[in-house]
Structure 1
Amino acid sequence: MDHEVRVTLRLPADLHARLVEEAKSARRSLNSEIVHRLESGRVATGMDSESP
């Protein structure tokens, strides 16, 4: 990552709780868990850096 951008995100409480638990299980921060999932989804769908 060349630079970081701060984002405010609203999540349903149950989704937040599930992500927190899964982050703890993976020994990651909540932020790292969200980034990991977004990056994994990007690879899984075949998106490249030129896609919007």
Structure 2
Amino acid sequence: MIRFSLRIPADLHERVTARATADRRSLNSEILHLLETALAAPRADAGSPGGDPASPAPLHGKPDSSPT
């Protein structure tokens, strides 16, 4: 197991702690569960062009649109 420090806002800590308590898990187990669930879920933008804000927009027009 890898151990590392993580800084999170106080309000997020409270939300995760409350969820861990409701799910009867430790804070560490709850964070692991949330990460595993998030990473296992199919991405909503998978397969849709331009759905990922980090991906560049599709190119339109001529390959070389510089003025001639």
Q: Same fold (TM over 0.5)?
A: yes
RMSD: 1.1
Q: TM-score, normalised by structure 1?
A: 0.77
The structure with the largest alpha-carbon Rg is 2
Task: Structure 1 unaligned segments of length 5 or more: list them.
Answer: 47-52
Residue in 1 that maps onto 2:41: 44
Measure, in 2, the Cα distance between the counterparts of 1:5 and 1:30. 16
Q: Which amino acid aligns with 1:5?
A: I
Q: TM-score, normalised by structure 2?
A: 0.60
Task: Structure 2 unaligned segments of length 5 or more: list them.
Answer: 44-68
Measure, in 2, the Cα distance between the counterparts of 1:31 and 1:16. 11
**Runs (4+) off by over 6 Å:** none
> Which one has the bigger helix percentage?
1
Measure, in 1, the Cα distance between the counterparts of 2:42 and 2:13. 24
